[in-house]
C-alpha cells in the first residue's frame, strides 16, 4: 500500500517571528467576567465602580499590558487630552521652568504635554504648526509671537485654543502671556548707564526676540549720541560664542567698558574671555546677561542678568488653556508678567 505523500514542511521566512496578539478591551472584560463598559469605567471614571471590581479590572489590565486607544476615545469625545508646546530649543535651560510648570498643571487636570522643537526659523515653525494642527490637540502653546500670515490664519481657522508666550503684542492670535523685549533692552542700557558705562557693546543671538532687545539697547545710547558696536551669533548660543564675540569686539573697539549679552551663555563666555585677557570685571568691563540661569550666581564674578519668571509663564499659560477646556474664558487674555534685573557683581 502506497504511503500518502508527505506535505512539505512550512518554514517561516527567515527573520520573522510570531507576533503576539494585542490585548483589547474585550479581552480584559472576558478575563474578569465583566462588560466592556465596566473596563472603560475603570480607566476613565473609576469612582463609579466598587473597590473590589476596580481592583480586579486594573489587575487584569496590568497583567495583559493593555494600553487604551486614546485616538478612538478622542474621536468619540472630541477631546484628545493632549496639549502641544513648541519651543525653539530643547537643549538649553531657558524654557525648562515654563515647560515643567505647564506639564505639572496639565497633569492635575488629566492632560498630557507634548513638546516640539521649532528652532529659530519661521519657515520651520510654520511646517511644524501645520503638522500639529492636523492632529487636533486640545491646545497649543507657542514660544514667541507668530508672524506668518498663513500660520495665523490656519491657527484661527482650526479653532484650537492658542497661548503665545515669551513675547508681547496687542494683537495675539488668541491668548498671550509674556513680556516686552524692547523694554528689556532699554532697561539693561539704563542699568549700565547708571553705573557709568559710556562705551557699551552688544553680543546677541541672531533670533528675532534677541534683536528686539539689542535694538532697544542701542537706541537708548543712540539718544545720547553714543554708537553701540555689536556682534551676532547663531541661536541657540553656546558659551564659546560669548568668548569669540567679546574677542571680536575688543579687536575693533578695545576701549569698550560694558557688554549686554543676549543670553547668559554668551555672558558667561564673555566673563571667561575677560578673565583670560586680564580685564577686571566690573571695574574695567561690566557684563550683563539675559535669562538669569541658575549657574549665573556661581560665575566668577557672579553674573548680573535680566530675570524672567518662566515658571509663572508656564502656570498662567496652562491655566488659560484649562479655562478654555471647561468652556470658560480666562480673566485676562493678555498677561504681561514683566521682568527684573538680578543685580550681582559682574555689573
Q: What is the pLDDT of residues 212-244, one digit of tens each?
A: 999 999 999 999 999 999 999 999 899 999 999
- Confidence grade of residue 20 (pLDDT, cut at 50, 70, 90): low
Number of H helices, E strands in the chain: 12, 12
Average pLDDT of the chain, as a whole number: 89
pLDDT exceeds cutoff 70 at 3: no
Say how many Å lie between the first and final Cα of the chain, rounded.
Answer: 105
Structure confidence at residue 241 (pLDDT):
98
Distance of CA 265 to the CA centre of its chain: 18
Nearest by Cα to 347 from 301, 297, 290: 301
pLDDT exceeds cutoff 90 at 90: no
Model confidence pLDDT, tens digit, residues 70-82: 555 544 445 678 9
For the ranges 167-171, 212-216, 271-275, 325-329, the lowest mean pLDDT is seen at 325-329
- Confidence grade of residue 208 (pLDDT, cut at 50, 70, 90): very high
The architecture of the domain spanning 181-307 is: 3-Layer(aba) Sandwich (3.40)
- Confidence grade of residue 25 (pLDDT, cut at 50, 70, 90): confident
Three cell numbers written together for 98: 515654563
- Per CATH, 15-68 and 81-179+311-339 having the same topology is answered no
Nearest by Cα to 89 from 141, 143, 147: 143
pLDDT exceeds cutoff 90 at 61: no
159 vs 198, residue with greater confidence? 198
Residues 6+ positions from 111 with CB-CB distance below 8 Å: 81, 82, 83, 138, 322, 325
Three cell numbers written together for 288: 550683563
Nearest by Cα to 175 from 190, 191, 164: 164
Structure confidence at residue 149 (pLDDT):
86
Cα separation, 265 vs 263, whole angstroms: 5
The pairs formed by 167-172 with CB atoms below 8 angstroms and a separation of 24 or more are: 167/209, 168/334, 168/336, 169/145, 170/334, 172/145, 172/333, 172/334
Model confidence pLDDT, tens digit, residues 130-147: 888 888 899 999 999 988
Nearest by Cα to 185 from 232, 231, 217, 228: 217
E-assigned strand segments in the chain: 82-87, 112-117, 139-143, 162-165, 175-178, 200-205, 230-233, 258-261, 286-290, 304-307, 334-336, 340-342
- Confidence grade of residue 17 (pLDDT, cut at 50, 70, 90): very low
Instruction: Give the three-state DSSP class for 305.
Output: strand
Structure confidence at residue 75 (pLDDT):
45
175 vs 23, residue with greater confidence? 175
Q: Which pTM was predicted?
A: 0.79
The DSSP result for 41-96, as a single string, is HHHH-GGGS-HHHHHHHHHHHHHHT----HHHHHHHHS---EEEEEES-SSSSTTH
The architecture of the domain spanning 15-68 is: Orthogonal Bundle (1.10)
Residues 6+ positions from 69 with CB-CB distance below 8 Å: none
Structure confidence at residue 204 (pLDDT):
98
Structure confidence at residue 12 (pLDDT):
46
Distance of CA 204 to the CA centre of its chain: 20
| Domain coordinates in residue numbering, the chain | 15-68, 81-179+311-339, 181-307
Structure confidence at residue 73 (pLDDT):
52
Nearest-10 Cα torsion for 264, 269, 274, 276: 150
For the ranges 10-24, 97-111, 148-162, 307-321, the lowest mean pLDDT is seen at 10-24
- Confidence grade of residue 8 (pLDDT, cut at 50, 70, 90): very low
Structure confidence at residue 95 (pLDDT):
92
Q: Is the dihedral of CA 165, 169, 175, 178 positive or negative?
A: positive
Model confidence pLDDT, tens digit, residues 167-188: 999 999 999 999 999 999 999 9
Structure confidence at residue 70 (pLDDT):
52
Helix (H) / strand (E) element for 221: namely helix 208-222
| Edge-to-edge strands, sheet with 112-117 | 112-117, 82-87, 139-143, 162-165, 175-178, 334-336
- Fold classified for 81-179+311-339: Rossmann fold (3.40.50)
Residue % of the chain over a pLDDT of 70: 90
Amino acid at each position: 500500500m502506497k504511503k500518502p505523500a508527505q506535505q512539505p514542511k512550512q518554514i517561516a521566512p527567515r527573520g520573522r517571528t510570531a507576533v503576539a496578539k494585542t490585548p483589547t478591551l474585550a479581552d480584559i472584560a472576558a478575563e474578569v467576567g465583566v462588560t466592556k463598559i465596566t473596563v472603560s469605567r475603570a480607566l476613565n471614571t473609576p469612582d463609579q465602580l466598587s473597590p473590589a471590581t476596580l481592583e480586579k479590572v486594573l489587575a487584569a489590565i496590568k497583567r495583559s499590558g493593555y494600553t487604551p486607544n486614546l485616538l478612538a476615545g478622542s474621536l468619540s469625545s472630541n477631546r484628545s487630552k493632549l496639549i502641544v508646546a513648541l519651543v525653539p530649543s530643547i537643549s538649553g535651560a531657558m524654557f525648562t521652568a515654563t515647560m515643567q510648570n505647564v506639564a505639572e498643571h496639565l497633569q492635575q487636570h488629566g492632560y498630557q504635554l507634548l513638546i516640539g522643537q521649532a528652532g529659530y526659523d519661521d519657515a520651520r515653525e510654520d511646517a511644524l504648526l501645520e503638522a500639529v494642527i492636523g492632529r487636533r490637540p486640545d491646545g497649543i502653546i507657542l514660544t514667541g509671537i507668530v508672524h506668518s500670515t498663513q500660520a495665523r490664519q490656519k491657527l484661527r481657522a482650526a479653532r484650537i485654543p492658542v497661548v503665545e508666550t515669551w513675547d508681547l503684542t496687542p494683537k495675539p492670535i488668541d491668548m498671550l502671556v509674556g513680556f516686552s523685549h524692547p523694554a528689556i533692552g532699554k532697561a539693561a542700557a539704563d542699568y549700565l548707564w547708571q553705573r557709568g558705562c559710556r562705551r557699551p557693546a552688544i553680543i546677541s543671538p541672531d533670533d528675532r526676540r534677541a534683536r528686539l532687545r539689542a535694538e532697544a539697547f542701542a537706541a537708548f545710547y543712540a539718544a545720547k549720541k553714543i554708537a553701540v558696536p555689536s556682534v551676532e551669533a547663531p541661536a541657540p548660543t553656546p558659551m564659546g560664542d560669548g568668548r569669540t564675540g567679546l574677542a571680536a569686539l575688543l579687536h575693533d573697539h578695545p576701549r569698550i567698558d560694558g557688554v549686554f549679552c543676549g543670553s547668559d551663555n554668551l555672558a558667561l563666555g564673555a566673563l571667561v574671555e575677560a578673565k583670560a585677557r586680564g580685564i577686571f570685571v566690573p571695574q574695567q568691563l561690566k557684563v550683563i546677561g539675559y535669562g538669569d540661569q541658575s549657574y549665573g550666581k556661581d560665575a566668577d564674578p557672579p553674573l548680573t542678568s535680566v530675570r524672567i519668571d518662566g515658571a509663572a509663564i508656564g502656570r498662567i499659560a496652562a491655566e488659560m488653556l484649562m479655562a478654555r477646556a471647561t468652556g470658560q474664558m480666562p480673566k485676562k487674555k493678555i498677561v504681561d508678567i514683566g521682568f527684573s534685573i538680578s543685580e550681582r557683581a559682574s555689573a
